[in-house]
Amino acid sequence: MTKQLTKADIFGLGFMTFAFFLGAGNIIFPPKAGMLAGSEALPAMLGFLCTAVGLPLFGLFAVAKAGGGISNMTRLLPPAIGIAISVAIFIIIGPLIAAPRTALVAYELGIQPFDGSLLPQWLYSLVFFAIATLLALFPGKLMDSIGKILTPMLILLLAVLAVSVLFAQGGTVQPTDPAYAASPFTKGVLDGYNTMDALASIMFGMLIIDLLRKKGITDFQQQSRYLAISAVIAAAGLAFVYISLFVLGANFGIAGTSNGGEILVHYVQDKFGLVGMITLAGVITLACLTTAVGLLSACSDYFSSLSKHLSYAHFVLINAVFCMMMANLELGVLIELSIPVLVAVYPIAIALILYTLYSPQITNKKPALISILTVATLFGVIEGIKAAGVALDFLSFLPLYEQGLAWLLPVMSIQLLFMVTGKATRREGASL
């Protein structure tokens, strides 16, 4: 008889998935985007939801379809190339950018508004990653510790904040930024990159499958079903949070602010006073901590699978130490450094997700995957160089170049071409 999860375990899994995603970027970027969008907040928000909710949902579906994480999704590639892509994504989403950002945001929003001098940034990051390390060292307990304990607390606190935002009065809509006025939907799509949720979905999907195996769920169909359910729960939660924070930024923005965290702090301080600030510190700390645990666990699990000498626990410690060092940068500096990298990598991740989802319609799978990822990588590098401030005006003839989506049509065209030819091949085979 196939083992099944209880309803409590299923919801715990979904809440855990939601908590993994809801981290630093998910909190600081929507308010800033909402403020800059101004009167164009609705189309910008819809674009943001496409990449910050839709893509992670598809990413988890792709992992479920592949029966595992990025190693399964890239198994048709030459081993060296598959590993290179995997390592690059794991380093970006782990110790280089996303994981350190969790501690940075938790500190700047949860500690600095009170008195940052009482707890220096380096000491906070040390304590933060020490706790994250302890939780990550016991991955089999993640569903229980995060999904059933920490996340319900987090959801309750977020619900209070969201309801207050949706019914609050007295805000001021800031003037619409020229970039949002010109193309609000597309700008929202690109803003959604900053959450890194599409990249994280590949990592977290693998982690969830491993957790299901530890729970005794070994049947592929059951694993896929539970992963899909958890994906829907997480997507619904993320959409709720993003819409609330977008509305907050659009209606209560502060001109000249450097990040969305400042908008959030100012709003809570104004509406709820000291009690609200303490509550916000709790929300931010829980959200960032759960994400840090998920990132540490997923990265360490993958890197340990590549090593014959270092275990999962070793990589948890190594990644935590590196994260702690990176977390001593300023938040603005880390965000500035991350944008070109994310713009370059995202087309590759999206192409991989789309290929995995539609691979059953493709006959020549290996040539298709190599072709799609080659084109995505080429255009991703171009977009990354442009995002770093290098002028590439000679490429301005490319469709959607100005919008930062020059990769979209070439990648989709190649995908459709292989799908159409695959369908024709199957039809010919059936007629013989």
Q: Is the pLDDT of residue 360 over 90?
A: no
Rounded to an integer, what distance in angstroms lies between the CA atom of residue 143 and that of residue 231?
Answer: 14
Task: Answer yes or no: do 59 and 207 share one domain.
Answer: yes
Q: In this predicted structure, what is the pLDDT of residue 56?
A: 92
Domain boundary among 297, 328, 359: 328
Q: How confident is the model at residue 143 (pLDDT cuts 50, 70, 90)?
A: low
User: pLDDT band at residue 412, thresholds of 50, 70 and 90?
Assistant: very high
| Token pair listed for 38 | 């101004």
Q: Quick one: which of 269, 268, 235, 259 has its CA closest to 33?
A: 259
The reply to whether 323 and 353 lie within a common domain is: no
Share of the chain above pLDDT 70, in %: 92
Q: Which two tokens stand for residue 287?
A: 């959200």
Residue 277 burial (10 A CB sphere; 0-12, 13-18, 19+) = middle
The answer as to whether 14 is a domain residue is yes
Residues 108-136: what's their mean pLDDT? Answer: 85
pLDDT band (50, 70, 90) for residue 145: low
Please name the helix (run of DSSP H) or strand (run of DSSP E) that holds residue 71, with its range, or none. helix 70-73
- Please check the confidence at residue 401 and state whether its pLDDT lies above 80: yes
User: Does position 431 have pLDDT exceeding 60, yes or no?
Assistant: no
User: What's the pLDDT score for residue 155?
Assistant: 75
Residues 294 and 395 in one domain: no
Q: What is the mean pLDDT of residues 84-91?
A: 88
- Let me know if 179 is exposed, middle or buried by CB neighbors in 10 A (0-12, 13-18, 19+): middle
Residues in Cβ contact with 61 at an 8 Å cutoff, skipping those fewer than 6 apart: 228, 231, 357
Cα–Cα distance between 283 and 29 in angstroms, integer? 16
Q: Are residues 322 and 350 in the same domain?
A: no
Domain count, the chain: 2
Residue 335 lies in a domain: no
* SS3 of the chain: helix, strand, coil, percent, to 5: 80, 0, 20
Query: Which range is least confidently modeled, 143-147, 162-166, 220-224?
Result: 143-147
Whether the Cβ atoms of residue 178 and residue 37 lie closer than 8 Å to each other: no
Instruction: Give me the mean pLDDT over the 276-305 stretch.
Output: 85
Range of the domain at 296: 7-328
> Mind giving me the DSSP string for 186-205?
HHHHHHHHTT-HHHHHHHHH
> pLDDT by residue (tens digit) across 207-221?
788 888 888 888 888
For residue 429, name the pLDDT band (cuts at 50, 70, 90). low
Do 220 and 350 fall within a single domain? no
Q: Are 163 and 246 a contacting pair, CB within 8 Å?
A: no
Confidence of residue 315 (pLDDT cuts 50, 70, 90): very high
Same domain, 156 and 239: yes
Q: What is the mean pLDDT of residues 67-74?
A: 83
In a domain, 333, yes or no: no
User: What band does 142 get if pLDDT is binned at 50, 70 and 90?
Assistant: low
From 303, 328, 353, the end of a domain falls on: 328
Amino acid at 301: D
Q: How many C-beta neighbours within 10 Å does residue 163 have?
A: 11
pLDDT band at 62 (very low <50, low <70, confident <90, very high): very high
d(CA 299, CA 98): 11
Q: How far is CA 184 from CA 20, 39, 57, 242, 387, in A?
A: 28, 10, 23, 16, 18
Let me know whether 300 and 364 are in one domain.
Answer: no
Residue 336 placed within a domain: no
Residue 321 lies inside a defined structural domain of this protein: yes
Q: Which of 311, 289, 287 is CA-nearest to residue 300?
A: 311
Same-domain status, 146 and 41: yes
Mark which of 328, 354, 383 sits at the end of a domain.
Answer: 328
